[in-house]
Structure 1
Amino acid sequence: MLRFVLGVVLAVLVVLGGLWLFQRRLIYFPTWAVPPVSERLPGWEEASFETADGLTLHGWFTPPSKHAPVVVVFNGNAGNRADRAPLGAGLAAEGFGVLLFDYRGYGDNLGHPTAAGLALDSRAAVQWVRQRAPRNDLVYFGESLGAAVATELALSLPPAALVLRSPFTSLADLAAVHYPLLPARILLRDEYPTLDRIGA
């Protein structure tokens, strides 16, 4: 009996250890193939900028018409900027400037996504836009995971508007819904406490 109990405990520890080590593979789902910008968004330009920790990130940009705001799109956890081309085209058709960019490890960018890394990526993206359009208002458009990233950035670099599509309250809350038997709050390395930051 004791051997059985020890075996169960060991199995649980192995599973929990594996989840802790490899959890980011369950959070981030990048795709890497990025077509030329001319195929998806004719007339847009390639953008590249460096993060504080030395990574070069890539994106697509179109400037605003006159004094219209620039929308910085913060992607969800899957795909890459090419998947947001229809959103970018729709915003640009209304006169907005738009930056579509990929986080580290997504699209044609090096690196591996983490909460701390995405915070650096988003800051670098906004600083680049500020150089390109210093007098235009900024709008942060965050989708799902991107809503958490945009909300965190808004605390230190406030935009004129913050738009959140399909946000979650926190990654721990989301994990508790999908994996109710796991101690998600203890295991998570990337927390994304969106609701707490909105209330800050």
Structure 2
Amino acid sequence: MTILKWLLIVVAAVYVCGLAVLFFKQREMLFPIPPVGRTPPDAAGLPEAEEHVLTTADGEKVIVWHVPAKPGRPVVLFFHGNGDFLAGRVARFKGITSDGTGLVALSFRGYAGSSGAPSERGLLLDAAAAYGFAAARYHAEQIVVWGFSLGTGVAVAVAAEHPVGKLILEAPYTSTTDVAGALFPIVPVSLFMRDQFHSDRRIARVTAPLLVMHGTSDPVIPIRFGERLFALGREPKRFVRFPGGGHDNLDEFGAIETARQFINAAGG
């Protein structure tokens, strides 16, 4: 009995220590900021883009790249993933804008030249500033919000609170607590996770046409989370599964063309 008691004590101590590490390191895990500094778009290979520095409601300075839309074309308001930086998405941005579609791509606070440290509240303030930038230049119905991975939570929040033309979610989730809970099933993540990005509680307020794209072999955000979120969204909506597609390689499976068809379709 004494051995069993001490074994239980050791297991409990290890568990508590593990919880402490997860609690204090959670933002480093959720926001693994790449060690990349500010890169002008022309140096990154996107000379058609203009760099702007926006001031958020709480005083941070965040960077957006803007490729002006050709007359009559929509503009994509793009929110990147948690390990992304704008210069690393140039090939995608070229694909998005190749038909005259405009682009407003935000570098979240703490990422690649933007000031501050990331949090859910902070990213939503960054997104509000980026939306304001786009809305000052384009009609609301021209704005197509596109979120990837972590950025889908931001995209849903923007589309739930502001008028937009369409919403594209690539590798989305119901909430970050759901994803974390699948990774750490014995950890009560919902009790101590600070940044929960509850898209499942927001998406019903989105009235714009919705496109969800997800790879069937996504190892980071399993497709079941995208399917659950899609089920909560309003019509008109469309779910596109890419057989064999992973997390960040959907352009190889036709994501750009799928998105272009959705953007150009009348009424979504």
Match of 2:84 in 1: 79
Shift in Å at residue 194 of structure 1? Answer: 1.5
Give TM-score, length-normalised by structure 1. 0.92
Match of 2:99 in 1: 94
Is 2:120 the partner of 1:112? no
The answer as to whether partners of 1:170 and 1:191 remain within 8 angstroms in 2 is yes
Shift in Å at residue 89 of structure 1? Answer: 1.1
**Structure 2, gaps ≥5 residues long:** 206-268
Is 2:37 the partner of 1:33? yes
In the alignment, residue 155 of structure 2 is paired with which amino acid? A
Q: How does 1:181-200 map to 2 (within 5 A)?
A: 181-200=186-205
After TM superposition, the structure 1 stretch with the greater mean CA deviation from structure 2, 33-42 or 163-172, is: 33-42
Is 2:62 the partner of 1:57? yes
The answer as to whether partners of 2:141 and 2:165 remain within 8 angstroms in 1 is no
C-alpha distance in 1 between matches for 2:140 and 2:111: 30
Give TM-score, length-normalised by structure 2. 0.70
Match of 2:134 in 1: 129
Question: 1:197–1:173: structure 2 CA closer, same or farther, 3 Å change rule?
Answer: same
C-alpha distance in 2 between matches for 1:33 and 1:89: 21
In the alignment of these two chains, the number of paired residues is 200
C-alpha distance in 2 between matches for 1:118 and 1:18: 24
Shift in Å at residue 164 of structure 1? Answer: 0.5
Question: 1:116–1:48: structure 2 CA closer, same or farther, 3 Å change rule?
Answer: same
C-alpha distance in 2 between matches for 1:4 and 1:140: 53
Shift in Å at residue 134 of structure 1? Answer: 4.8
Question: 1:36–1:19: structure 2 CA closer, same or farther, 3 Å change rule?
Answer: same
The answer as to whether partners of 1:70 and 1:136 remain within 8 angstroms in 2 is no
RMSD: 1.8
Shift in Å at residue 98 of structure 1? Answer: 0.2
